[in-house]
Amino acid sequence: GQSLEQPSEVTAVEGAIVQINCTYQTSGFYGLSWYQQHDGGAPTFLSYNALDGLEETGRFSSFLSRSDSYGYLLLQELQMKDSASYFCAVRGAGNMLTFGGGTRLMVKP
């Protein structure tokens, strides 16, 4: 099976940089993805890492180290609208996806 750990809550100020970590234990690993979910809304896909290294998309970057079973999501130039929950998810065989419990990010002025 799969298990993922991420912090339950992170607080940061507007304009700052925040890193949300995700560690995983898996019986099969094909990639790590990140999702954003605002209260009352549906999850939105942010990024996918299949190989080690950093993937950058605008203000958001995602990193993966398969040897360390570790990844992180980096959010730069934080804005109030970035206040949301962020989930990491591991893709296993087929299209089986296992999600972490989510990190609630609060951005303060």
Partner 1 sequence: EAQVTQNPRYLITVTGKKLTVTCSQNMNHEYMSWYRQDPGLGLRQIYYSMNVEVTDKGDVPEGYKVSRKEKRNFPLILESPSPNQTSLYFCATQRGPQETQYFGPGTRLLVL
Nearer to partner 1 by Cβ, of 81 and 93: the residue is: 93
# residues contacting partner 1 (CB under 8 A): 24
CB of residue 37 to partner 1, shortest distance in Å:
9
CB of residue 56 to partner 1, shortest distance in Å:
16
Q: Which of 62, 91, 105, 107 binds partner 1 (CB under 8 A)?
A: 91
Using CB under 8 A as the binding rule, whether residue 79 contacts partner 1 is answered as: no
Please answer whether residues 48 and 31 qualify as being in contact, where contact means their C-beta atoms are separated by less than 8 angstroms: yes
Please answer whether residues 14 and 62 qualify as being in contact, where contact means their C-beta atoms are separated by less than 8 angstroms: no
Q: What is the Cβ-side half-sphere exposure of residue 59, based on CA atoms within 13 angstroms?
A: 11
How many other C-beta atoms are found inside a 10 Å radius of the C-beta of residue 45? 10
